[in-house]
Structure 1
Amino acid sequence: MLVPVILSGGAGTRLWPVSRSAYPKPFMRLGDGQSLLYKTLDRALRLSDDGTVLTVTGRDYYFLTRDEYAAHPDADLDKLPFLLEPAGRNTAPAVVLAALHALEQCGPDATLLVLPADHLIRDLDAFAADARRAAALAQDGWLVTFGIRPTHPETGFGYIRMGAAIEGLDGRAVGAFVEKPNRETAESYVASGDYVWNSGMFCFRADALVAAAEVTCPDVIAAARACHASESGQASPIEFARELFLAQPDISIDYAIMERAPRVAVVPATFDWSDIGSWKAVSDMDAEADDAGNRVRGQAVIVESENCYIQSDSRMVAAVGVKDLVIVDTGDAVLVADRNRAQQVKLVVDRLRATNHQSATFHTTVHRPWGSYTILEDADDCKVKRLTVKPGHVLSLQLHNKRSEHWTVVHGTAKVRIGEKEFLLNANESAYIPMNTVHRLENPTDRDIHLIEVQCGDYFGEDDIVRLEDRYGRVKAKA
């Protein structure tokens, strides 16, 4: 049984300001309107034997991920179980926990196909053929990784030196895993033809992975067993206990297992691949180039400029007499960078985080389990949001100690509770919620409702929320 495992998350650093920690790269939409996560699910569903796809992701991304999955016409949400991490961790804990879950639910011969959710692969037929080659190796007990044939001497990827062909199977033994090289070394790797890029995708039987972990990283497997045992038998989504989860070593599957295990194979990929690791990578593949090499998503006026990439969500961007720039405007932040120094964008995020600037984490539009809100104004004396509440969803029963709120419905009908009173609020009607008053808003209809929320007071932080009841299991004082 082939069980695809999607690993989804990220720090939101390399593709800021579109990717942020609350909305990392897997949710980023490409020019065709699809997210990288959606495309990964599509690949996984094509290979799953019965439509089952296991996802390991952060707790904060669960509802956003479910919404992405629900949009796929072939996805059966009942066959898409989730393992939810309470905090960021490396890939070894995620993959080992997925293997333990698969052993329990699918049996020892379940073959896992591990797919990061932030890769772009266009040739789906070639990918499926290579995945089947890897699955055949996995059934023979090999731990398999996918190697990408280098197209240039890349210094930002790890490499795999390929060893001898495996008799009777379509793959090569791994000679060695190699760290990111300098330019000269990378050039020699490409020239030799013996090296491939390490893609970070894997295939192995669940029992073989666990057996290898027992030998190569007993601390990882012991901590994972304790974490898994505490939630064994729980229905999806399975949210691991924070203390037990954080007891796991913070280590990648490459270091913990793949580089130390005895039977490790590589399948040289025949499919195209990109991890879209920088804005330069995005600019090379997203949108059509004009005669001067400029690519545009959104609205832009370009005058005597060359080899620029411009992306704007809403505003007009003008570029005059410039070349080799990346310009990205998300409404609340603008990035201007040399295309050839796009990897340094993460230094911008480091500085924003050092000052606790909100733009390192959130967009002006923030996604919540019940829908989303967009900040229209954030001043010292008021904060204005536009809320969208999905059909059948409800905000938590809550109160605020430091602000009052005014709700005005602009589209649809909301069910509102203020204090002990419940009533319907229709389009062009308003309600006032005094400070320290219990309140809740619900969408009882089958269409989105939209409303404007005006907050008044002397503090508007999201931590001024005292939750009394919450359908989505969020903790007190967390938005």
Structure 2
Amino acid sequence: MASPIVPVLLAGGTGTRLWPVSRDALPKQFLPLMGKHSTYQETLLRVRGPEFGTPIVVTGPDFHFFARRQAEELGIDVTVVIEPMRRDSGAAIAAGAAITLKRDPQAVVLALAADHIVLDPEEFRKTCVAGRAAADLGRIVTFGIKPTEPKTSFGYILPGKAIDGTETAEVERFVEKPDLATAARYVQDGYLWNSGNFLFRADVLLGELQRLEPDMASAVEESVARSNTDLGFVRLDAEAFARSPQKSIDYAVMERTDRTAVVTGRFRWSDIGSWDALFDIAPTDSNGNVLQGPVTLMDAKNCVVHSENRLTTLIGVEDLVVVSVADATLVVPRARSQEVKDLVAKLKADKRPEAIVHRRVHRPWGYYESIDMGERFQVKRIVVLPGGMLSLQRHRHRSEHWIVVRGTAEVTIEKDIKPVHENESIYVPLGAIHRLANKGKIPLELIEVQTGSYLGEDDIERLEDVYSRV
């Protein structure tokens, strides 16, 4: 019996073209751009079935708890691998393949971007099965998508002659993102969109990497060999991983190997590379608008409007992208939506925190969000998930007042440990060693009022931490 296909999900990107929803501190793969699940969760659901093994998720040191939490929400078991720094898709895929190979020498890997959207999961699974025959023969299979129209935001693949005994073809050539006239010619000539998803035997991919990119292969294999398990996560060795060149799997292997094959996917797909891309896959109203959240329009056509928690209204406009979140608003013509990345770069240069962090900040124990701030005070809403525990800590410049509005808190202040129930409050003096925990079965919610001369997050001295952050 053939081994199941092992999904390796790449979940470490940033997705700045979808700002202000997607930011470095919490990028697009972990956000619900369509429906109630994030694209990462939708990817996990797509590879749940008898054809697939336990997914391996490769992500960065800021997202590993969040990746596991979102998988747990679906009841899906995953292996989360922490890459110490970004080295592009080449090293990330190689690490997933090396870990898979240690577990099963015959393993077939399905490498997927966690921030893509697929609207036909059954067709996707059929494509995986169709591509496996070529992967078993030692081919590195890429997923080509039959174009619906000329697109300048995708790379293209020209299929060659059919590979006997499979539903795949050799790859005649890969081409970069074209201009519109060239893209139209590619569609006429039978080119496919390059989806950036791959299927291969783990030993084959690593063998080609050793041949074509020996420095990357040795760095990744050493980082896996020297990896350790920390709180259930696989943490790659940082010193070894840092020696890997920073290259995509396309440049490192796919455009240089003679083992490529392409399988045609007939599912609806998008990499959601910009807000304008939602028109390819999201439902529209009678005037061609894509709407998410509390939105009211009058005489508006062909707009993307994404609103979180507040009413957003448009009158008499066309072809706009409007995105409204708690701390930022974006308005841009649809035709210039790719330029959002440049806007984010400008915001970073101006040292605007909104370029990087959300008002809601996620932590291993839950999250907090800023409600109000003045010269010597800040008000936060804090939610601690069941079983969550903040670090044992103290502050040099601020005191805190906690008011519990839901659940029961277990509060440590110096040597005193006591429960604080709903509608009760407690004061944490400046400099006091303290900790907050939720030993209950429901989320703990409280309002925190900070007062003092300095209120930055770096005024936290951690003394103990169950999440290894000391």
Partner Cα separation in structure 2 for residue 236 and residue 222 of structure 1: 25
Work out which of the residue numbers 252, 255, 272 in structure 2 matches 1:256.
252
Q: CA deviation at 1:233?
A: 7.7
Partner letter of residue 255 of structure 1? Y
Q: Which residue of 2 aligns with 1:355?
A: 350
Structure 2 gap segments, 5+ residues each: none
Q: CA deviation at 1:235?
A: 8.2
1:89-138 deviation line (CA, Å, top 9, x unaligned): 200111111111111112x2100011111111111121111101111111
1:384-442 deviation line (CA, Å, top 9, x unaligned): 10000011110001111121111111111100011111111111211111222111000
Work out which of the residue numbers 132, 135, 152 in structure 2 matches 1:135.
132
Q: Which residue of 2 aligns with 1:367?
A: 362
Q: CA deviation at 1:158?
A: 1.2
User: Is 1:109 equivalent to 2:106 in the alignment?
Assistant: yes
**SS of structure 2 residue aligned to 1:387:** strand
Work out which of the residue numbers 264, 288, 295 in structure 2 matches 1:300.
295
Q: Which residue of 2 aligns with 1:313?
A: 308
Q: Which residue of 1 aligns with 2:16?
A: 13
Partner Cα separation in structure 2 for residue 295 and residue 100 of structure 1: 41
Structure 1 gap segments, 5+ residues each: none
1:281-323 deviation line (CA, Å, top 9, x unaligned): 1245334413x22332222332222222222111122212211
Partner Cα separation in structure 1 for residue 439 and residue 346 of structure 2: 43
Could you tell me the TM-score, scaled by structure 2's length? 0.96
User: Is 1:412 equivalent to 2:407 in the alignment?
Assistant: yes
Work out which of the residue numbers 318, 326, 334 in structure 1 matches 2:329.
334
C-alpha RMSD of matched pairs (Å): 1.6
Q: Which residue of 1 aligns with 2:456?
A: 461
Work out which of the residue numbers 13, 38, 41 in structure 2 matches 1:38.
41
Q: CA deviation at 1:271?
A: 1.5
Partner Cα separation in structure 1 for residue 230 and residue 405 of structure 2: 41
**SS of structure 1 residue aligned to 2:206:** helix
Q: CA deviation at 1:242?
A: 2.5
Partner letter of residue 95 of structure 2? L
Q: CA deviation at 1:41?
A: 0.1
Partner Cα separation in structure 1 for residue 63 and residue 50 of structure 2: 24
Aligned pair count reads 467
Partner letter of residue 90 of structure 1? D
**SS of structure 1 residue aligned to 2:112:** strand
Partner Cα separation in structure 2 for residue 235 and residue 302 of structure 1: 48
Higher mean C-alpha displacement, 226-235 vs 393-402? 226-235
Contact persistence 1:4–1:48 (CA under 8 A): no
Equivalent residues in 2 for 1:3-152, closer than 5 Å: 3-46=6-49, 48-49=51-52, 51-73=53-75, 75=76, 77=77, 80-106=78-104, 108-152=105-149
Partner letter of residue 144 of structure 1? V
Q: Which residue of 1 aligns with 2:186?
A: 189
Partner Cα separation in structure 2 for residue 112 and residue 31 of structure 1: 27
Q: Percent same amino acid among aligned pairs? A: 43
Partner letter of residue 361 of structure 2? V
Could you tell me the TM-score, scaled by structure 1's length? 0.94
Partner Cα separation in structure 1 for residue 90 and residue 278 of structure 2: 28
Contact persistence 1:295–1:310 (CA under 8 A): yes
User: Is 1:380 equivalent to 2:380 in the alignment?
Assistant: no
Which portions of structure 1, spanning 4 or more consecutive aligned residues, are displaced by more than 6 angstroms? 232-235
* Change in CA separation of 1:112 and 1:401 when aligned onto 2, cut-off 3 Å: same
User: Is 1:211 equivalent to 2:211 in the alignment?
Assistant: no
Work out which of the residue numbers 171, 179, 195 in structure 1 matches 2:168.
171
Partner Cα separation in structure 2 for residue 117 and residue 297 of structure 1: 21
* Change in CA separation of 1:463 and 1:241 when aligned onto 2, cut-off 3 Å: farther
Q: CA deviation at 1:378?
A: 2.2
Contact persistence 1:12–1:23 (CA under 8 A): no
